[in-house]
Amino acid sequence: MKRCARHSAICFVLALYLLCILVVNCPVRAEETGEVPSPTLAPGAVAYDSAHPENLLQEQLAAQAFILMEASTGDILMQYNADEMMNPASTTKIMTALLALEYARNAFDDIDEGLAQVITASESVTQLADDGSMIGLRDGERITLKDALYGMMLHSGNDAAVAVAEFIGGSEAAFIDQMNQAAALLGMTDTHFSNPHGLYAPDHYTTARDLALATRTALNNPMFKKIVSTLRYTIPQSNVRASYNMQNSNAMINPDSPYYMSDVIGVKTGTMSQSAYCFVAAAQRKGVTLISVVLYSGMYYRWWDTRKLLEYGFSQYDSVTPEEIYAKAPIDVRTIGFSIDDPNRGELTLDVRAQNPLSDVRITGPIADVQLYSEQYRSYTTIQITSDLRAPIKKGDVLGMLTFYTPDGDAPRYDLIASRDVGARESAPLTIEQIAEMARVGEFIMISWEWLAPPAAIAVAALFALRALFKRIRAKRRDARQIPKPKRRTYQ
């Protein structure tokens, strides 16, 4: 018994020792370790039917405020208390990352050079409240801006946010001023930041609508999308410690999570006793990009709330490209001079090819509106055929131009190209236009008996027919003159 007790004591001391090592050397995982409220659905709420996401009701969500936005149009699909000012917790870091990435993109020749800039962490990173999430930066530690952003957005490192703010703004206070200026420029009228990480402060607040606006702008930066959609990342060895791995706190991008949703591409979680559980998400499906914001939700309900909102949005909106619209009702033209062996008797379907291959034009909106536009797209286009459509025609030949006029004012242009080869008929007669052109430039026209014979034969036959007709008419007249007129006779 004593031996077992001594063995248990040794195991306990060893476990405590290992735990101390982990605490000292590993980043803090929770965004806040204090007690966090976890709202649930109201009693008696109507049951959610996942088979009919279009019937979503506000009472089927636990969040006290939420909004659903279509990113390309800015349309609001659903909202509740979207303008109520609330503490955003670590979703604040969306704005911090946005400013950092704009700095990296605009202050250097390319964004990769900007992200490679080395930050030297100050003593400030060690003075944050220890009940928040950290990546464990130390005073004097050197880390690239890129690694700091990954640590801030995946692991929600408050110390990384401070390091980024001081590096870009020169001081944390100066960077906070930049955050508030950017918020004003983006139309975030109910937002005020007092720190770059989201720890509670009475004058640190925003709204679901304003967070959606910030996220909509951030998603235009490809590097932002790459960072927030990354599941795992390794920060390499620094000048004071070894490399370490971290995992994104967003359960909806983790295939091993029961909350995984393949359409989700980020963005940021937030957890704090004053904010409960928050989540800003972005998702893409068939060209539609949605942004959902849920504030003051439950530990698990923030994932379910987000899924319900996103499924509702995808049931309401559609997005198609001009190429997809055109493919359902392409333009057919009739060629001339085609071979007698042509299987389609000279009929040719035209394909389209964007004149600007880098353009990303989409028609996005409510499903009924997109469908109506697709059905009537000929009313919103101009078609110019620039070829005489005379065979031979090679597949890929540009025969015209099609201009789309989209609902949002774009006017992308597409080449109309041949979808197949059209062979020419051998010894085909020249057209009047070809003869006129050859005469104009003084070319010698070789008259071919093969194409002259048919019309000549028709002309000769017509002459013989007319000659026979005239002979018959003359004969009738002559016979009429030879018949004697009857004499008058009187009978007594």
Mean pLDDT of 371-391: 94
Please report the pLDDT score of residue 442 as a whole number: 67
Q: Reply yes or no on whether 476 is catalytic.
A: no
Of the residues 93, 146, 268, 308, which is catalytic? 93
Please report the pLDDT score of residue 487 as a whole number: 54
Encode pLDDT of 103-121 as tens digits: 999 999 999 999 999 999 9
Encode pLDDT of 148-203 as tens digits: 999 999 999 999 999 999 999 999 999 999 999 999 999 999 999 999 999 999 99
The residue to which tokens 């996942």 are assigned = 50
Encode pLDDT of 388-397 as tens digits: 999 999 999 9
Please report the pLDDT score of residue 305 as a whole number: 98
- Among residues of the chain, what percentage have pLDDT more than 70? 84
pTM, rounded to two decimals? 0.79
Q: Reply yes or no on whether 249 is catalytic.
A: no
Please report the pLDDT score of residue 482 as a whole number: 58
Q: What is the CA radius of gyration of the chain?
A: 39
Per-residue pLDDT for 340 more than 70? yes
Mean pLDDT of 363-380: 95
CA angle in degrees (0–180, nearest 5) for 170-172-178: 80
Of 88, 34, 55, whose CA–CA distance to 267 is shortest? 88
DSSP H stretches of helix in 347-420: 367-375
CB–CB of 71/216 below 8 Å? Answer: yes
What are the angstrom distances between the C-alpha of 234 and each of 46, 114, 226, 244, 265?
44, 19, 15, 6, 19
What confidence category does residue 466 fall into, taking pLDDT thresholds of 50, 70 and 90? confident
Please report the pLDDT score of residue 244 as a whole number: 86
* Whole-number Å distance between alpha carbons of 136 and 146: 16
Q: Reply yes or no on whether 93 is catalytic.
A: yes
CATH code for the domain defined by 26-316: 3.40.710.10
Quick check: bond before 196 cis, omega within 30? no
Structure tokens, 251: 């359960």
Of the residues 90, 133, 249, 319, which is catalytic? 90
Side chain identity, residue 321: T
CB atoms within 10 A of CB 436: 11
Of the residues 72, 122, 133, 156, which is catalytic? 156
397 exposed, middle or buried (CB, 10 Å; 0-12, 13-18, 19+)? middle
Lowest-confidence pick of 13-27, 137-151, 462-476: 13-27
Q: Domain-by-domain residue ranges, the chain?
A: 26-316, 322-418
Please report the pLDDT score of residue 384 as a whole number: 95
DSSP run (H or E) holding 281: strand 276-285
CB–CB of 404/410 below 8 Å? Answer: yes
* Whole-number Å distance between alpha carbons of 415 and 383: 10
Encode pLDDT of 342-361 as tens digits: 999 999 999 999 999 888 89
Mean pLDDT of 271-299: 97
Structure tokens, 31: 């965004």
